[in-house]
Chain A
Amino acid sequence: MRVVVAMSGGVDSSVAAALLAREGHDVIGLSMQLYDHSDREGGVRFGTCCTIDDLHDARRVAARIGIPHYIVNFERQFADTVIANFVTEYSSGRTPIPCVHCNGDLKFATLVARAEGMDAEFVATGHYARVDLDPETGRYRLKRGADPARDQSYFLFTLDQAQLSHAMFPIGHLDKAVVREHARELGLDVAGKPDSHEICFVADGDHAAFLERQAPMAGAGAIRDTAGAVIGRHEGVHRFTVGQRKGLGLSSPIPLYVVGIDADANSVIVGPKDALERTELTASGVNWISGVGPESGFRVTARIRHRHREAGATIDPRADARVHVTFDEPQTAVAPGQAVVFYDGDVVVGGGWID
């Protein structure tokens, strides 16, 4: 069986490729070049993922395990989907998750199309997630990765049945420690490579500076309290996210947090910690993994950001790919633009973008 593996140069996708090759599959490694790597003047310099060194690592792994490897140039698609969305979302006072778009719009869209051109039936990635066929419904299920500390199913909630039918997650059933052990056994130099963190294309972690290089951002504006009174100034709403405490430049007897961002008024709204609590939210652009939404009143555990501890909730699917969520307990820092993803045990039911 011919399988295309998206190789980032990290330990996870390297082991994914190696395991597939060891199982005897006809494996082709593809690495995405997402931005200009040349040193020439005016070249965009950013990135901690898919850098020139990561491509170097991916090539060496491919050579080591004896599979063909190609670097495919997705600069334009990356700029048009992931970066464009990142910029628009922050400018609208929301907090985007570029990884979800990178998975849904690049790896399991553009890359799948390329794989078809190579006669490959599957696209594999190094995600900690699992996919299987539900024997009862005949539909594909997306499940958490077996390693609870590494589970990346949250970032895959937009995948549909067609995408899942071509998806493989060869390390989804493994613990990270086992993956590293495999890498060592296979003699891969990336065995000890540190995990990537934060937003991979923002090299220095300074997303505000990155945004300002990409597009003109709205300038300074007012910081208001929850009653609407101006209590300070900010240097642009794109520098803030709901739940943020640092960087406000306010002196207050009690700790103040960003509780809302009003991009239209160019205002950042701050309040005490309890003003961050919500028991309800709505989300749009919802994807139900099975293709069909559950009944109203369906019980799930819901995650409102990657590192969030899932909370019990009742969901109520609405028309136009929307959903209403009621949590059993109040949740802190529900940030518009982040994803809410629903789980039924280990199975991802679906998810959407928080309004």
Chain B
Amino acid sequence: MRIYFDHNATTPVDPGVVQTMARILAEDFGNASSVHHFGQRAKAVLDDARSLVATLIGAEPSEIVFTSGGTESDNFALRGVADALEPTGRRHLIASSIEHEAVLTTFKALARRGWRTTLLPVDSTGIVQPADLAAALADDTALVSVMHANNEIGTVQPIAEVARLAHDRGALFHTDAVQSVGKIPVDVKRLGVDFLSLSAHKFNGPKGAGALWIKRGARVTAILTGGKHERSRRAGTENVPAIGGLGEAARLAAAKLTTEGPRLTALRNRLEEAILARVPGTAINGAREPRVPNTTNISFEAVEAESLLIALDLEGVAVSTGSACSSGTLEPSHVLRAMGLPSPRTQNSIRFSLGAGNTEAEVDFVVSKLPALVEKLRSLTGARVRG
């Protein structure tokens, strides 16, 4: 038996999406820029997908630019705004300190090009404080980037409030919504942002497809240049099957958003409460609310997270120690560190992220295995933990 509790890393592709993509691969091979019948068939796939993605986030189809995924969307927003606003004299960028690497590393690259960058702190529960943004904003701030939901701990940031503050100072606002789109209702107008990144494979779509939502009129320069694809905002022949899959995943996600959210919340809470009750020396990292329904990040005192991850995998349970993108490094999670957690706790945290296929029986199985595994790992290092 295999149990998959790592949906924030990626999700299984919905069978409906597989079917859609298989059909497109087999039948709609045309280049969407071609005038003829074959091109029109491919273009129709893109049009459908554009409408479906727009519907999912409350946007207009023309505001959706398809990309290869979340990382490209983040790069597009950050680099594209930097390029567009450089001539205006704006030279300052702000992001939260718990952003995904796609934002943080791009920030570093822009800093090397002469941009001033400010990373906003978060409180001990992993939430950005609007007052910190207000203090950080400058007259030449070009862009503020704050993620909607955090990938490691699931906390949802007060986007509408911080976006307003940014706009008051004439700055643009980007949110990386890769971990919220498809999990909770996301409406670009309510959020009041200018750019929003999303990725298909985080909500049962394929890898290699995503989008950047660009509010009509928002200033941004293309970073992939070439032909006139995506109305000259993103050059390169469109990955039609993957984009078709993104559209179908968006349709499916929108249809079950109101039922799946509460179901996952209940499942996650069941897991969380059982672990806290049955495994001594455990604690939840980050605010319990507001949080995406599927995520919990738990510290196991005196347990090396990597060892627990492997022990769980050998029992057939897939979890992660944080971001899949930072596995293989010894760096403690930058998210947990930004929250001010002491260093042992940043090294012994496990992320459980649930998704569509998960059941109560699976949660109960994991809960039944954990106490003994944790106890064994602790006994090997001679650690004593009081309940």
What residues of chain A have their CB less than 8 Å away from a CB belonging to chain B? 28, 33, 36-38, 68, 70-73, 75-76, 113-114, 116-119
Contacts and interface: CB of A to CB of B under 8 A. Distances in A.
Given A68-B313, A118-B310, 5 more contacts: A36-B329, A114-B310, A118-B314, A119-B314, A119-B376
Interface in B299-334: 306-307, 310-311, 313-314, 328-330
Contacts, number: 34
B111 interface: no
Given A73-B306, A113-B380, A114-B307, A37 B314 contact: no
B330 A72 contact: no
27 contacts: A33-B328, A36-B329, A37-B328, A68-B313, A68-B314, A70-B310, A70-B313, A72-B306, A72-B310, A73-B306, A73-B328, A73-B330, A113-B380, A113-B381, A114-B307, A114-B310, A117-B307, A117-B310, A117-B311, A117-B376, A117-B377, A117-B380, A118-B310, A118-B311, A118-B314, A119-B314, A119-B376
Contact of A28 (B314, B377, B381): B314
Nearest to A38: B329
A44 to B, nearest CB: 13
Contacts of A68: 313-314
A47 B314 CA distance: 30
A302 to B, nearest CB: 37
A68 B311 CA distance: 12
Nearest to B313: A68
Main secondary structure of the interface of A (DSSP, over half): mixed
A348 B330 CA distance: 38
B380 A116 contact: yes
A72 B309 CA distance: 11
Nearest to B308: A117
Nearest to B303: A117
A116 B313 CA distance: 15
Nearest to A71: B328
A73 B307 CA distance: 10
A75 B330 CA distance: 8
Nearest to B373: A117
B108 to A, nearest CB: 10
Contacts of A118: 310-311, 314
Interface in B336-375: none
A237 to B, nearest CB: 33
A111 B376 CA distance: 16
Nearest to A120: B314
Contacts of A73: 306, 328-330
Contacts of B381: 113
Contact of A76 (B313, B314, B330): B330
Contacts of B313: 68, 70
B261 to A, nearest CB: 34
A196 B253 CA distance: 52
A117 B380 CA distance: 7
Contacts of A70: 310, 313
A36 B381 CA distance: 25
B4 to A, nearest CB: 15
A68 B310 CA distance: 10
A109 to B, nearest CB: 13
Contacts of A114: 307, 310
A187 B68 CA distance: 35
A118 B381 CA distance: 14
A75 B310 CA distance: 18
A37 B331 CA distance: 13
Contacts of A36: 329
A38 B329 CA distance: 9
Nearest to A26: B314
Contacts of B330: 73, 75-76
A117 B307 CA distance: 7
A117 B373 CA distance: 8
B375 to A, nearest CB: 11
Contacts of B314: 28, 68, 118-119
A75 B380 CA distance: 20
A38 B381 CA distance: 30
Nearest to B105: A40
Contacts of A113: 380-381
Contacts of A28: 314
Nearest to A37: B328
Nearest to A74: B330
A71 B328 CA distance: 7
Q: Which 9 A-B pairs have the closest CB atoms?
A: A117-B307, A70-B310, A117-B377, A73-B330, A75-B330, A116-B380, A117-B380, A118-B314, A117-B311
B373 to A, nearest CB: 9
A37 B380 CA distance: 29
Nearest to A76: B330
A319 B381 CA distance: 32
B303 to A, nearest CB: 10
A182 B307 CA distance: 32
A119 to B, nearest CB: 8
Nearest to B377: A117
Interface string B252-279: 0000000000000000000000000000
